[in-house]
């Protein structure tokens, strides 16, 4: 039963066997059904994405070994420390659109001998005033070995995007060999050793192109299906199960591109389904946003929440379309680009598509992570775009300055869900009217269970009104709890280089017990309850 059906009538709540709200007691209901698991929340649903775009890699991640900025082998130390705090599970690289213009061989071998090439994004008007540095002409200083060390330092798995538009399956096979062949076994293994790693990287996740319907080659779905078969046929695996991820649709609420999903699936398998054994995941991209990230009206606030909530229906639509062909459900959905994309903020000439996230973006991040949790059985991986100095970014850097944004704090709160068993959860609260027949739910969230620890996260999107809710744990009782709340007095609040702590979460004990209790969710807030069950 869909969440909106619960919001529409208390009869639906009663029909599901749940206690209706007590008239006058509160204005909301949150029910967690502990005995109704949805699926395991893979840690990879909280994955990340980096691309050679603007100042994501150079200045963001890579500062150089001789930099005065604290670094670990050239990689910004503050970034590594924060990624380890997040328990970052996986990082996607090198793109994005950059991936399908990238030759991995340019980024290996002695750094002083690596070629300098025009960056894919050089023709963007925003870079016209940028100096002729790595944002326009990539020196390939940060290549495969450097990215692998970054992942190792962060404790994350690498997810590499192969170039389908301008390289060949043979080039892809060679990249797999460079990364995964046993020590000293091949010439490429010896090259890897020269780059600092005698042992193989054991890369599991491989994206076969990126946005192949657009910047990745302008393919039709039937054409891309042919390329996917070519690139994934007889790839050396070196005793490791490789997980290939197909380039799926871009999506928005007007055109979710389900036709691409159906066209690819149909042309991939034809009359046989054995090729689904090669397709581990099928990607989807979705961005919401527009306008200024810091200057917005209350209507803009609610409209962005509504746009972000579209992710819920997009996941369901593409999952349904995939199931028309993959009836055994071998293939999972991968949302490897998502986030709020606003107008660029003036951070400097080398920054591209960068904006300063506010409290609003933290709520967008939280409600999206809740959507992923509720669809845990459908999803294998999700990668927020992007990690640093870009869209929906977790971090901002400028020279030696570093700040964690409200988006980072949302991820830090939600890491408690990683590896948990997603539970069915029902939220019922007065909807927010947006006019023109549109409405936004009053409360939404997700719940997960690990052992005797129940984690409940809830977003209250209302700018000024708290939501008091009767909370019910069906199948369990609370013994003790603590609560973490992310909010701010001003909905436009953000963290910047000179005000790094305007939007930070606060944690304290929560005096709740039993199977039913009352809770007040603050306006414009993300709340996490970590409950020890009796």
Give the pLDDT score at 334: 98
Residue 320 preceded by cis peptide, ω within 30: no
* Spatial distance between the Cα atoms of 523 and 262, rounded to a whole number of angstroms: 41
Average pLDDT (66-72) is: 98
Whether pLDDT at 344 is above 90: no
Residues 192 and 145 sit within 8 Å (Cβ to Cβ): yes
Instruction: Identify the pLDDT of residue 14.
Output: 32
CATH architecture for the domain at 3-40+422-533: Sandwich (2.60)
- What whole-number distance in Å separates Cα of residue 270 and Cα of residue 82? 46
Angle at 124 between CA 341 and CA 75, to 5 degrees: 70
Summarize pLDDT for 346-377 with one digit per residue, the tens. Answer: 788 899 999 999 999 999 999 999 999 999 99
> 26 falls in which pLDDT band (50, 70, 90)?
low
pLDDT at site 4: 37
Instruction: Report the CATH architecture of 43-418.
Output: Alpha-Beta Barrel (3.20)
Residue carrying structure tokens 């290549």: 143
- 261: enclosing H helix or E strand: helix 258-269
In this structure, what token pair is assigned to residue 408?
Answer: 């980072």
Q: Can you give the pLDDT at residue 16?
A: 34
Binned at pLDDT 50, 70 and 90, residue 147 comes out as: very high
Determine how β-strand 401-404 pairs with β-strand 395-398: antiparallel
Residue in 211, 227, 303, 530 annotated catalytic: 211
DSSP 322: H
The reported pLDDT for the residue numbered 12 is 35
Show me where the domains of the chain are located. Answer: 3-40+422-533, 43-418
pLDDT band per the 50, 70, 90 thresholds, residue 182: very high
Question: Whose CA is closest to 370, among 412, 432, 417?
Answer: 417
Distance CA 136, CA 130 (A): 8
Three-class DSSP category at 459:
strand
In angstroms, how far is the first alpha carbon of the chain from the final one? 29
Q: Which of 31, 227, 303, 337 is catalytic?
A: 337
State yes or no: is 266 an active-site residue. no
Distance CA 50, CA 93 (A): 5
Quote the strand ranges of 387-477, DSSP E: 395-398, 401-404, 421-428, 432-435, 438-440, 444-450, 453-460, 467-474
pLDDT of residue 254: 83
Q: Is 239 left (phi over 0), alpha (psi -120 to 50) or beta?
A: left
Q: Which helix (H) or strand (E) holds 440?
A: strand 438-440
Query: Distance between CA atoms of 32 and 423, rounded to whole angstroms?
Result: 7
**Residue 271: predicted pLDDT:** 58
Q: If pLDDT is split at 50, 70 and 90, which confidence band does 21 have?
A: very low
Mean pLDDT, residues 509-526: 96
Q: How confident is the model over 285-297, as a mean pLDDT?
A: 95
On the question of pLDDT at 309 being above 50, the answer is yes
Percent of the chain at pLDDT above 90? Answer: 88
Residue 64 near residue 74, CB atoms below 8 Å? yes
399 among known catalytic residues: no
DSSP codes joined into one string, 180-214 = HSPTTSSHHHHHHHHTT-SS-----EEEE-SSTTT
Give the residue-averaged pLDDT of 150-154.
98
Mean pLDDT estimate for the chain: 93
Query: Which tokens belong to 70?
Result: 């604290």
Is the pLDDT reported for residue 193 higher than 90? yes
DSSP label of 499: B
Mean pLDDT, residues 477-502 taken together: 97
% of the chain exceeding 70 in pLDDT: 95
pLDDT beyond 50 at 9: no
Distance between CA atoms of residues 148 and 447, nearest Å: 33
Q: Which has more pLDDT, 532 or 23?
A: 532
The mean per-residue pLDDT over the stretch 163-175 comes to 98
Which DSSP helix (H) or strand (E) runs through 87?
none
| Secondary-structure breakdown of the chain: helix, strand, coil percentages, each rounded to the nearest 5 | 30, 30, 40
Task: Say if 3-40+422-533 and 43-418 have the same CATH topology.
Answer: no
Length of the chain: 534
In angstroms, rounded to a whole number, what is the distance separating the alpha carbons of residues 248 and 81?
Answer: 33
Q: Where are the beta strands (DSSP E) in 115-176?
A: 117-118, 137-138, 157-162
377-423 pLDDT per residue, tens: 999 999 999 999 999 999 999 999 999 999 999 999 999 999 999 99
Q: What is the pLDDT of residue 362?
A: 98
Evaluate if residue 20 carries a pLDDT over 60.
no
Judge whether residue 441 has pLDDT over 90. yes
Whether residue 18 is predicted with pLDDT greater than 50 in this model: the reply is no
Strand 71-72 relative to strand 75-76, pairing: antiparallel
- Render pLDDT for 209-249 as a digit per residue (tens, 0 to 9): 999 999 999 999 999 999 999 999 999 999 999 999 999 99
Mean pLDDT of 72-99: 98
């Amino acid at each position: 039963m869909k969440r909106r059906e619960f919001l529409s009538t208390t009869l639906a709540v009663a029909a599901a066997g749940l206690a209706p709200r007590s008239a006058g007691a509160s204005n909301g209901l949150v029910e967690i059904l502990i005995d109704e698991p949805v699926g395991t929340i893979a840690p990879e649903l909280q994955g990340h994405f980096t691309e050679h775009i603007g100042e994501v890699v150079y200045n963001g991640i890579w500062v150089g070994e001789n930099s005065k900025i604290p670094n670990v082998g050239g990689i910004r130390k503050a970034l590594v420390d924060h990624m380890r705090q997040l328990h970052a599970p996986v990082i996607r690289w090198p793109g994005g659109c950059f991936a399908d213009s990238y030759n991995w061989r340019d980024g290996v071998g002695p750094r002083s001998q690596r070629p300098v090439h025009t960056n894919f994004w050089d023709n963007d008007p925003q870079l016209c005033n940028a100096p002729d540095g790595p944002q326009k002409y990539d020196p390939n200083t940060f290549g495969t070995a450097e990215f692998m060390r970054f992942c190792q330092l962060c404790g994350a798995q690498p997810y590499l995007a192969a170039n389908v538009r301008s390289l060949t399956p043979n080039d892809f096979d060679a990249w797999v060999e460079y990364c995964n062949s046993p020590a000293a076994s091949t010439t490429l293994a010896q090259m890897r050793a020269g780059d600092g790693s005698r042992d193989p990287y054991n890369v599991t996740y491989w994206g076969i192109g990126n946005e192949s319907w657009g910047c990745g080659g302008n393919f039709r779905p039937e054409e891309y299906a042919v390329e996917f078969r070519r690139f994934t046929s007889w790839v050396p695996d070196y005793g490791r199960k490789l997980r290939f991820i197909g380039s799926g649709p871009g999506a928005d609420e007007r055109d979710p591109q389900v036709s691409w999903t159906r066209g690819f699936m149909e042309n991939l398998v034809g009359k046989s389904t054995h090729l689904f054994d090669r397709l581990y995941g099928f990607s989807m991209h979705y961005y919401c946003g527009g306008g200024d990230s810091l200057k917005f009206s209350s209507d803009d606030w609610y409209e962005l929440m509504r746009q972000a909530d579209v992710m819920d229906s997009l996941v369901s639509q593409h999952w349904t379309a995939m199931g028309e062909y993959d009836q055994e459900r071998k293939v999972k959905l991968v949302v490897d680009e998502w986030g709020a994309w606003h107008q660029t903020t003036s951070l400097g000439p080398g920054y591209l598509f960068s904006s300063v996230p506010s409290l609003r973006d933290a709520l967008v991040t939280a409600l999206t992570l809740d959507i992923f949790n509720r669809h845990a059985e459908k999803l294998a991986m999700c990668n927020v775009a992007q990690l640093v100095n870009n869209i929906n970014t977790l971090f901002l850097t400028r020279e030696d300055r570093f700040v964690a944004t409200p988006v980072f704090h949302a991820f830090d709160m939600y890491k408690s869900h990683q590896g948990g068993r997603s539970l069915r959860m029902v939220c019922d609260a007065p909807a927010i009217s947006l006019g023109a027949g549109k409405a936004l739910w009053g409360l939404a969230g997700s719940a997960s269970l690990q052992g005797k620890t129940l984690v409940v996260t809830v977003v209250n999107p209302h700018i000024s009104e708290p939501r008091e809710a009767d909370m019910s744990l069906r199948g369990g009782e609370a013994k003790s709890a603590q609560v973490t709340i992310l909010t701010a007095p001003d909905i436009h609040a953000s963290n910047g280089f000179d005000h790094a702590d305007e939007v930070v979460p606060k944690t304290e004990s929560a005096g709740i017990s039993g199977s039913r209790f009352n809770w007040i969710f603050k306006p414009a807030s993300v709340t996490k309850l970590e409950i020890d069950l009796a």
